Structure 1
Amino acid sequence: MTTEAAGAGALLAILRDGRARTRTELMQLTGLARSTVSQRLDALLDREWITPAGDAISSGGRPAVAFAFNGEARLVLSADLGATHARIAVTDLKTRVLAEHTQDMPISQGPEHVLGWLVDAFGALLDDCGRTLADVCGAGIGLPGPVEHGTGRPVNPPIMPGWDGFDVSQWLRERLGAPVLVDNDVNIMALGEHWAAGDECEHLLFVKVGTGIGSGIITEHRLHRGAQGAAGDIGHIRVLSAGDQLCRCGNTGCLEAVAGGAALAARLRALGEDAADARGVVQLVRSGSPLAVQLVRQTGRDIGEVLASLVNFFNPGVIVVGGDLADAGEHLLAGIREVVYSRSLPLATQHLTMRGRLLGDRAGVVGAAVMVIEDALSPQAVDRSVTTG
C-alpha cells in the first residue's frame, strides 16, 4: 500500500461526522492533491470503511460521487457487568444497538464463570443479527471495580472475589478473536452519556449511585482515568455524616458506607422495611414509603457534600446522576442540588446543569461501544487496517 493510502485514517475521521462529501470537497478540506485523496478513498472503500452515497451531487456538469462513513462495516460487542446483573449488546459503528440482552449474573461467581457466560451470550446475540465473530472489530467490557485500563486487569476489586489481577482482555481475546478493552463500569457509563449529550457537552461528571458509588470524569471531551485508572472513585471519600461507619473497603466514614444502595437497604431493613438492595429501595420510594423517601433525600445531601467540593475543583458543565438509585427520581437529585448550590462557588454553578441520565440502563453498553469505536477508528488504527489488508 502506498504512503498516500496510509493516511486514509485522517480522511475517515472527517467523514465520520455523518455528512457525505465529494473528492473535491475533501481536497478543499485537507489541501491534498486529487490523486492522494483518490488513493485514500480507494483504500477506505476496499476495507468497506466508507461507501458511495446514494445520490450523486451535481453542480451543473457531470454528477460527482459523494462518499459517506459506513457505520455497518463492522460490529462491536459491549458488556456492562454490574455487581449482580449484566447487560450486553451488539452495536454498529454508530453505536446503534442491533441486539441486546440482560440477565442476573453475580460478579462474585468469578471471572471464568462470568466471562464464559459472556462469550456464549455474545455468540447468541450475533446469531440473532445473522452475523459472526468475523464481523467484529472489538469488544468493550465494563467491570464494577477498579481497573488498570492499560492492561485490562482488575486491581483489588472489593466486590469481585477471584478477579484481582485476572487478565480479562487476553482471556476474552483468545475466545473472541478480536481486540478487547476493559474499564471501570462508571467510566463507560460516562462515555455513553457524553456521547448522547453531543459535542456541546465539553466537561461532564457522571455519578453512579447503585450498590456502591463512583464517578466518571469527562474533560475537554476526553475521559480522564488518572495515572493508574483510579480517577473518580468518590465512594470512599470521607463524609461527616458517616461517622465511624465501617465501609466494605475496610476504612470508616466513607460516603458509600452511608449513601450506597447496599447501606440504604440495610438501614431500611433495620427499620422494618423490605429492601434487599438498591432496587428494593427504589421500589419503596415509588410505593410512597416515607422512610425510604426521607433516606433517599438524605442520601442526595450526603452525595452533594462530596460533589460540592468536586464542582469547585473540576467545574463541570453537566452532572449526570445514574445507577439504580437514580430511578428514585427527583428525591435523590433534589438532595444533591440542595447542597451543591449552597456550598459551591457561584461562578462554578452559574451554568451548571444537574440531571438524570439520557440513556437509562443502556449508558454502559453504549459507552463500552464508544470506547471500542474510538480505538478501532483512530487514524492510526485505520491506517494499519488499510496497509495490512
Structure 2
Amino acid sequence: MSSKSPVCFTQKVDVLELLRDGRARTRAELVAESGLSRSTVGARVDALLGHGLVVVAGEASSSGGRPPARVVFNPTARLVVAVDVGATHVTVALTDLSGLVVDVVTLDLAVAAGPDVVLGAILREARRMVAAAGRRPAEVVGVGVGVPGPVEHATGRPVSPPIMPGWDGFDVPAAVQRVFDVPVLVDNDVNLLALAEQHAAWPDVTELVFVKVSTGIGAGILAGGQLQRGASGSAGDLGHLRVPWVPDSPRPADDPRDLEAVASGPAIAERLRGLGLEARTSADVVALVRGGDQRVHAAVRQAGRDLGAVLSGVVNLLNPSVIVVGGSISRASEHLIAGVREVVYGQSIPLATHDLRIVRSRTDHTAGVLGAALLVTRQVFAEDPLPHLIRSG
C-alpha cells in the first residue's frame, strides 16, 4: 500500500485561501506557506487551474534550469449577485469573487410593494446582467440580499419588519433559488454596511460599530472581525433604546423616548417643522442642511448628542476601536458626528475612549451591495470552497 496521503481539500491552511490575497506564488512557495505536501499542493493547483480559479502569472527568477511558474487567484472566474433593498429603492449588482462590481443598477421601487414584486424585479435584473456580461447563470456562486428590517439569519426570513408589509416570515432564499440554485444569504442592511466599511476603509480593525442614521436608526457590530447578530438576529437595534436625558436637550428630562423618535431623519424633520420649516422626510432634512440654515445645523447636532447618549453605553460595553456613522443624515453634515463625539467622549469611560475614533462613513452608495457580496464570498470560502466553485462553473 502506498504511504502517500490522498489529496485532501480540507486542510487548515488551504492553497486557495493563501492565493486570495492577490499575490502570485510558485508551487514551492505555496508548499512552504501552507504546510501541505508537495503532491497535495500540486494536485490542488492543477485543479484550480483547470477550473480557471487561478491563472499563471509569469515566472519567478531561477538559479538554474527552467524558471518556476507563479500562479495567482482569478476572482473573475465566478460571479455573485448582490442586492441592497431600501425603503424606496433597490440596488442590484453583479460582482466578482473579490467584490469588484461588474454591473449595477438602482431601481425606484418601494419595499412596501411586497416580496413578489420586489424579488421579481431583482431576479429579472440579475438575469439580464449575467447575460449582458456574456456569462452563464451556472457561474453565479451565491446571492446576497440586504433588507431594511430584522432577519432570522439561519433561515433568511424577515421577522416583523416595521416598514416591509407582506415580508414577515417570507422565505426569501426559496424565492430566489427558483431562478438561481445557489446559496442565498439574507441579512439586515446595516450589518452589510458594517462589512463593507470594514473591508473598504478599516481592513485592520476587528472591533467596529457601524451606525446608520436615516429614516430609521440601526447598528452593525463587528467583534473579533465577525458580525454579531445575537441569539435571534436582533443585535444592533439601537433605534428602540431609550435615550438618556442630556444637558441642553430640547425635551424635558421626564420625557423619555426611543432614539429613533428623537434622532432619525423624520424625527429631525418634526423638530424643524416646530421651527416653521417645511420638512417631512430625511431627504427634506438633507436639503435644508445643505441650505446652511443654522437652526437646521443645531437640530442635527442635537440629534447627534442624543445618538451619543446611547452610544456612550455601547462604547463602555463593547469597547470598539471605531464607530462609523453613515446614512443620509451623516453624509449631509458634520454636525451629527460633532454631537456624537461631544457626548461619547464626555460620558464614556476614559479607557474605552482613549483610542476610539468616531468617523463618518467612507464608503459610497454601492456599500450595501459590496456588503452583500462579502457576505456570500465569506461563506463560500469559510470551508473548502472548491467542490462548490467547481459545481457552479
Scaled by the length of structure 1, the TM-score of the pair is 0.93
1:56 to 59, 75, 92: 59
Match of 1:176 in 2: 180
Indicate yes or no: 2:26 matched with 1:12: no
Q: 1:371 & 1:388 partners in 2: Cα distance?
A: 17
1:204 to 184, 189, 208: 208
The gaps in structure 1 that reach 5 residues or longer are 247-251
Indicate yes or no: 2:360 matched with 1:356: yes
1:290 to 288, 291, 294: 294
Indicate yes or no: 2:295 matched with 1:300: no
Moved more, 169-178 or 108-117: 169-178
1:323 to 312, 322, 327: 327
| Amino acid of the structure 1 residue aligned with 2:225 | H
Match of 2:192 in 1: 188
Match of 2:129 in 1: 125
1:277 to 278, 281, 285: 281
Scaled by the length of structure 2, the TM-score of the pair is 0.92
Alpha-carbon deviation of 1:244? Answer: 11
Alpha-carbon deviation of 1:270? Answer: 4.4
Greater relative CO (CA pairs within 8 A, separation 6+): 1
Match of 2:47 in 1: 43
Alpha-carbon deviation of 1:202? Answer: 1.4
| Amino acid of the structure 1 residue aligned with 2:180 | L
Tell me the SS of whatever aligns to 2:60.
Answer: coil
Q: 2:63 & 2:296 partners in 1: Cα distance?
A: 69
Tell me the SS of whatever aligns to 1:379.
Answer: coil
Tell me the SS of whatever aligns to 1:217.
Answer: strand
Q: Is the 8 A contact 1:5 1:39 kept in 2?
A: no
- Percent identity, please: 48
Cα distance per residue 1:179-210 (max 9 Å; x no partner): 21100000000000011124311111000001
Q: Is the 8 A contact 1:23 1:37 kept in 2?
A: yes
2:341 to 319, 332, 337: 337
Q: 2:160 & 2:96 partners in 1: Cα distance?
A: 33
2:376 to 366, 372, 379: 372
Alpha-carbon deviation of 1:90? Answer: 1.1
Indicate yes or no: 2:133 matched with 1:139: no
- Quickly say closer, same or farther: Cα 1:82–1:3, change in 2 above 3 A: farther
| Amino acid of the structure 2 residue aligned with 1:183 | D
2:78 to 74, 79, 88: 74
Match of 2:242 in 1: 238
| Amino acid of the structure 1 residue aligned with 2:198 | H
Tell me the SS of whatever aligns to 1:175.
Answer: coil
Match of 1:249 in 2: none
- Quickly say closer, same or farther: Cα 1:323–1:288, change in 2 above 3 A: same
Tell me the SS of whatever aligns to 2:116.
Answer: helix
Q: 2:358 & 2:392 partners in 1: Cα distance?
A: 46
| Amino acid of the structure 1 residue aligned with 2:130 | L
Alpha-carbon deviation of 1:384? Answer: 4.8
Alpha-carbon deviation of 1:352? Answer: 0.9
Q: 1:371 & 1:225 partners in 2: Cα distance?
A: 13
Tell me the SS of whatever aligns to 1:320.
Answer: strand
RMSD between aligned alpha carbons? 2.2
| Amino acid of the structure 2 residue aligned with 1:181 | L
- Quickly say closer, same or farther: Cα 1:30–1:81, change in 2 above 3 A: same
Moved more, 170-179 or 6-15: 6-15
Q: Is the 8 A contact 1:152 1:183 kept in 2?
A: yes
Q: 1:233 & 1:30 partners in 2: Cα distance?
A: 41
The gaps in structure 2 that reach 5 residues or longer are 246-250
Report how many residues are paired: 382
Tell me the SS of whatever aligns to 1:303.
Answer: helix
Match of 1:259 in 2: 263
Runs (4+) of structure 1 exceeding 6 A deviation are 242-246
Q: Is the 8 A contact 2:244 2:309 kept in 1?
A: no
Match of 1:219 in 2: 223
Alpha-carbon deviation of 1:245? Answer: 11
| Amino acid of the structure 1 residue aligned with 2:327 | G
| Amino acid of the structure 1 residue aligned with 2:14 | A
| Amino acid of the structure 2 residue aligned with 1:196 | A
- Quickly say closer, same or farther: Cα 1:3–1:149, change in 2 above 3 A: farther
